[in-house]
Amino acid sequence: MLLSNGAMSAASGQVREIANGMTAMMNDLGTPQGWSGADADRFQRDWNDLVHNRLMAAANKLDGISFEEIKEMLGG
């Protein structure tokens, strides 16, 4: 299934929305009522380094690729 440019843009927006929502939840963990300490700090660092940044890079990639480029890559 090929996506139009509009669908690709919508998909990148969804990826960003999910990444930012999850990051907000991670930040809430660090509140006084939440999880704190070295493990919490490491988890938040790992989240940002290993997951959030990669999700944002994927969203940027979706923004930067056009429908025509996808068709060409797929041989169509």
How many angstroms separate the Cα of 62 from the Cα of each of 27, 41, 57, 66, 68? Answer: 26, 30, 9, 8, 13
- What are the 10-residue block averages of pLDDT along the chain, 76 residues in total? 74 93 84 79 89 92 73 70
pTM above 0.95, yes or no: no
Residue 24, class by beta-carbon neighbours within 10 Å (0-12 exposed, 13-18 middle, 19+ buried)? exposed
